[in-house]
């Protein structure tokens, strides 16, 4: 996946440091940075992998240690409110902060997987025929790693499932493709047999984070995120039950409070049944406080869920759609670091880190 390289100023913006610090740290880290071809002064061009390598180098140099490792599901039962957009951007930003991030796509429509530059519909044969790298294809998803899938096909190794779209130090991805929808059918069979399928994801994570099983070792991740589909199904319940936090993007439309109260109801049920539920965070998306309707929604939401409303929001921006249609294989926060939307996303990431006491 050849991606557009970054000039030093963009790298500084992405990492939230000075241009001098970028120069110094990339040298100290011994990174090979390309120079612009042609005559004249040769500007240095950083690949996205270079940038994440600098982030990781700095994390080590300044002894960055996560105070709490967190599992976060991004979910709202309403479609199109920005779950996938915010997941892909926030995961990318958390990793720029030097955190080890794993993000799992739980939607068989695989928009998150696509936003990171993969093509879930491309077969290996088609890739070979058209000269695309095989890594663009998606062979596995989370379902393949769960016990419910066993018997359907051999269980792959975690390392065969995980993709590293921006290199070793960028966010890692458990991708998705269309066959993930079978997982829900397998969960339903389990539910009929009273086997509590909603615990499958929590069990998988608990085992992985314990580091006991070296074939499924998730112990290095500071943040694990799930991009849930809008469906009110066993998969989303399973992700919620496994999570410490749920981020619910709210599009500030007329019925968005309804979607939050449905979610709050689900969390209540979980508390009754399991004595455990993720803490709710409401993220205003498509935000415009100057609109009366939006202001009224904010008042209603903060009144009803005083601790859940996040103090930073994401405005409406055409840039989100442009990045997708330009097919850059990167979320906006990486592709357009100096845009207003990217700045807002970095501010949201910072408030979340604080609220969730990650650093």
Q: Which residues would be at the binding site for ligand ATP (CB under 6 A)?
A: 79-85, 107, 111, 229-230, 285-286, 314, 316-317, 320-321, 324
Of the candidate residues 58, 70, 78, 83, the single one contacting Mg ion (CB under 5 A): 83
What is the smallest separation between the CB atom of 278 and Mg ion, expressed in angstroms? 18
- Do residues 175 and 104 make contact, with C-beta atoms less than 8 angstroms apart? no
Binder of residue 324, out of Mg ion, ligand ATP, none (CB less than 5 to 8 A by kind): ligand ATP
Nearer to ligand ATP, 111 or 148 (CB): 111
- Rounded to a whole number of angstroms, the minimum distance from the CB of residue 230 to Mg ion is 7
Total residues in contact with Mg ion, by rule CB under 5 A: 2
SS3 label, residue 303: helix
User: Shortest Cβ distance from residue 72 to Mg ion (Å)?
Assistant: 15
Q: Does 148 bind Mg ion (CB under 5 A)?
A: no
Of the two residues 97 and 103, which places its CB atom closer to Mg ion in the complex? 103
Closer to Mg ion by Cβ: residue 87 or 155: 87
In the beta sheet, which residues pair with residue 6?
46
Least Å distance, CB 344 to ligand ATP, is: 8
Give which of ligand ATP, Mg ion, none residue 75 binds (C-beta under 5 to 8 Å, depending on kind).
none
What string of DSSP letters covers 80-142? TSSHHHHHHHHHHHHHHTT--EEEEE--TT-HHHHHTT--TT--HHHHHHHT--GGGS----G
Count CB-CB contacts under 10 A for residue 122.
16
Q: How far is the CB of 159 from Mg ion (least distance, A)?
A: 26
- Residue 144 within binding range of Mg ion, rule CB under 5 A: no
Closest contact distance (angstroms) between CB of 164 and Mg ion is 22
The helix/strand/coil state of 146 is: coil
Q: What are phi and psi of 18, to 5 degrees?
A: -80, 160
Which of 26/285 has CB closer to ligand ATP? 285
Q: Does 176 contact Mg ion by CB under 5 A?
A: no
Nearer to ligand ATP, 107 or 222 (CB): 107
Residue 116 binding result from ligand ATP, Mg ion, none, given CB thresholds of 5 to 8 Å by partner type? none
- Torsion of Cα atoms, 8 then 102 then 122 then 147, to 10°: 170
Asked if 78 interacts with Mg ion (CB under 5 A), we say no
187 is written with which tokens? 């969960």
Note whether 84 binds Mg ion by CB under 5 A. Answer: yes
Mapped onto helix, strand or coil, the DSSP state of residue 327 is: coil
Residue 287 near residue 314, CB atoms below 8 Å: yes
The whole-angstrom separation of Cα 95 and Cα 107 is: 22
Smallest gap from Cβ 321 to ligand ATP, in A, equals: 5
Nearer to ligand ATP, 28 or 288 (CB): 288
Number of other CB atoms surrounding residue 187 within 10 Å: 24
CA nearest 235: which of 187, 292, 175, 272? Answer: 187
Nearer to Mg ion, 106 or 348 (CB): 106
- Could you tell which of Mg ion, ligand ATP, none binds residue 140, using a CB distance below 5 to 8 A set by kind? none
How far is 163 from 269, CA to CA, in rounded Å? Answer: 35
For residue 162, give both structure tokens: 């995980």
Contact between 172 and Mg ion by CB under 5 A: the answer reads no
Minimum distance from residue 266 beta carbon to ligand ATP (Å): 16
Q: Return the number of other C-beta atoms located less than 10 Å from residue 112's C-beta.
A: 28
Compute the distance between CA of residue 243 and CA of residue 72 in angstroms, rounded to an integer: 5
Does 236 participate in binding Mg ion (rule CB under 5 A)?
no
| 3-class SS shares of the chain: helix, strand, coil, % to 5 | 50, 10, 40
* Gap between the Cα atoms of 75 and 283, Å rounded: 11
Task: Pick one of ligand ATP, Mg ion, none as the site partner of residue 281 (Cβ within 5 to 8 A by kind).
Answer: none
How many angstroms separate the CA atoms of 170 and 94, rounded?
9
Q: How far is the CB of 211 from Mg ion (least distance, A)?
A: 31
* For Mg ion, the closer CB: 78 or 163: 78
Q: Between 231 and 280, whose beta carbon lies closer to Mg ion?
A: 231
Binding site for Mg ion (CB under 5 A): 83-84
């Amino acid at each position: 996946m050849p991606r557009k390289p970054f000039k030093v100023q963009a790298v500084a913006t992405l990492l939230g440091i000075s241009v001098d610090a970028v120069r110094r740290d990339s040298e100290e880290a011994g990174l090979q940075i390309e120079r612009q071809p042609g005559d004249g002064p040769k500007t240095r061009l950083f690949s996205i992998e270079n940038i994440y390598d600098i982030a990781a180098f700095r994390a080590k140099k300044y002894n960055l240690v996560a105070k709490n490792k967190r599992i976060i599901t991004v979910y709202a039962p309403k479609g199109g409110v920005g779950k996938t957009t915010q997941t892909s951007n926030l995961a990318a930003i958390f990793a720029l902060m030097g955190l080890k991030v794993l993000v799992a796509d739980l939607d068989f429509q695989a928009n998150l997987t696509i936003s990171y530059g993969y093509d879930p519909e491309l077969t290996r044969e088609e890739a070979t025929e058209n000269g695309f790298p095989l890594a663009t294809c998606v062979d596995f998803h989370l379902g393949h790693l769960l016990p419910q899938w066993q018997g359907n096909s051999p269980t792959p190794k975690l390392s065969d499932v995980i993709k590293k779209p921006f290199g070793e130090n960028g966010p890692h991805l458990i991708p998705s493709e269309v066959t993930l929808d079978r997982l829900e059918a397998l969960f339903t069979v389990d539910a009929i047999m009273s086997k509590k399928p909603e615990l499958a994801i929590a069990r998988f994570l608990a085992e992985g984070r314990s580091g006991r099983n070296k074939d499924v070792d998730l112990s290095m991740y500071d943040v694990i995120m799930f991009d849930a589909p809008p469906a009110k199904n066993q998969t989303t319940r399973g992700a919620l039950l496994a999570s410490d936090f749920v981020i619910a993007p709210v599009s500030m439309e007329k019925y968005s409070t309804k979607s939050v109260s449905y979610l709050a109801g689900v969390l209540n049920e979980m508390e009754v049944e399991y004595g455990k539920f993720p803490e709710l965070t409401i993220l205003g998306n498509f935000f415009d406080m100057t609109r009366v309707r939006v202001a009224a929604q904010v008042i209603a939401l903060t009144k009803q869920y005083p601790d859940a409303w996040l103090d930073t929001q994401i405005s409406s921006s055409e840039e989100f759609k442009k990045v997708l249609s330009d097919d850059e294989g990167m979320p906006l926060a990486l592709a357009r670091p100096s845009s207003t939307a990217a700045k807002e996303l970095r501010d949201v990431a910072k408030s979340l880190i604080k609220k969730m006491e990650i650093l």
